[in-house]
Amino acid sequence: MSGYGLLATFETEAALVEAARAVDSAGHTIVDAYAPYPIEGLPTLAQDQASRVGWAGLSGGVLGAVGGLTLQAWTSAFNWPLNIGGKPQLAWLAFVPVAFELMVLGAAAGVGLAFLRLSRLRPRWRTPGWRDTWPHDRFVLEVAATGEARLESARSLLRAVGAVVVSEHGNVRVFSTPTATAQSFRWLDRTLIGVACAATGVSFLLWPDWTRRNLAYAPDMAVSPAVTTYSSSAVSEDAQTLRAPVPGTVPRGPLPLHYEATEADALRAAVELQVPAGIAAEPDRLRAEKLFEIYCQPCHGSDGHGDGITIKRGFQPPPSLLTQHARDMRDGQMFHVITYGQKLMPAQASQIRADDRWRLILHMRRLQQRLPVDPPPFGSPPAPEPPPP
């Protein structure tokens, strides 16, 4: 491959710079210059020829920044909109750090790739052997010249400007003869490439669904044999995964109540239900107070006068919990009222546990003991006689 390029060696820095100018103005291509230290005027010569590294860096940076912004905008505002701390979903200000990092990454990758490309350092199996005979303490100019005539004119020009040695072995980085050792291991390279290609091909054939993970190490955690809640079941006759409980099943915890939301059933509950002994023994006053504050106080008021915050905002006031009527009401009936609701009061069963409802009743009893009796609401019918115990 001799004759592709020329390596001219010079004794001084000035000779190298001068030769580079001469070669450049004669129209030959300077591949590179080698010197033991950076030379001032020389970079401008090289820069005028190839200054595309900066553009590659800019493109990479812009690509990275735009990519980062797009990724974040798409993931957090379009594909899966999330409300994070009440910030707008397209929170550009918060996207900046990631976009900035990706910009740096893109710019660095762009510069690195452009550097490799412009230096013609592509990835290869065997790195080209740098010639040990190259002088490290001299100034060397590498000139590309194809064709005998160009080569000859370049050689005579280099001799004329004072090159000490002009060697023809040329661009060793592109054309290098592998060493004997490398030759003998070539079969290994080929085997490895063959195995990689075969494995890729087989994987394409065996796992054609690219939308899911096709191969996983120890997949038992990710793919469990249990069916998920709403997926169809291959086992049950109606193909439903969720099963209804067996008829007559009794849930754990409080027993089911067999009442309707009617006044008759409320009176029945007054007779049948009592405060469970466990709760009467340990009423847990603090919890009861807290529950009252959460569920009752908004309408009934903190003392049960029926002057809660919703009343101040215009909601129909409930009768006071401190009237004689409320004091005479049996625990069981009160439990029925809380559980199923009464008139404007909605049922609370879905949000207050049964044992907590009993605790609330005990809390109201405490209020009634502590505070004076309220008069009955204006125009209300006389309280019915309490049913006999």
Interface residue list for other proteins (CB under 8 A):
51, 54, 58, 85-87, 93-94, 96
Residue 42: both structure tokens together: 């020389």
Q: What is the residue whose two structure tokens read 């239900």?
A: 273
Are 299 and 310 spatial neighbours (Cβ–Cβ below 8 Å)? yes
Query: Which of 66, 227 has the CB closer to other proteins?
Result: 66
Largest CA distance in the chain: 131
User: At closest approach, how far in Å is the CB of 308 from other proteins?
Assistant: 30
| Strand pairing category for 5-10 and 29-34 | unpaired
User: At closest approach, how far in Å is the CB of 205 from other proteins?
Assistant: 50
User: At closest approach, how far in Å is the CB of 93 from other proteins?
Assistant: 5
Residue 198: both structure tokens together: 């075969």
User: At closest approach, how far in Å is the CB of 87 from other proteins?
Assistant: 7
Sign of the Cα pseudo-torsion (127, 132, 136, 142, in order): negative
Give the Cβ contact number of residue 168 at 10 Å. Answer: 14
Query: Which of 55, 315 has the CB closer to other proteins?
Result: 55
The C-alpha atoms of residue 352 and residue 365 are separated, in whole angstroms, by 18
Query: Which of 44, 133 has the CB closer to other proteins?
Result: 44
Query: Which of 51, 179 has the CB closer to other proteins?
Result: 51
Q: What is the residue whose two structure tokens read 């893109």?
A: 106
214 three-state secondary structure = coil
User: At closest approach, how far in Å is the CB of 64 from other proteins?
Assistant: 15
Are 138 and 9 spatial neighbours (Cβ–Cβ below 8 Å)? yes
295 class by beta-carbon count within 10 Å (0-12 exposed, 13-18 middle, 19+ buried)? middle
The C-alpha atoms of residue 326 and residue 180 are separated, in whole angstroms, by 106
Query: Which of 94, 267 has the CB closer to other proteins?
Result: 94
Residues paired with 10 in a beta bridge: 139
Query: Which of 44, 228 has the CB closer to other proteins?
Result: 44
Query: Which of 107, 329 has the CB closer to other proteins?
Result: 107
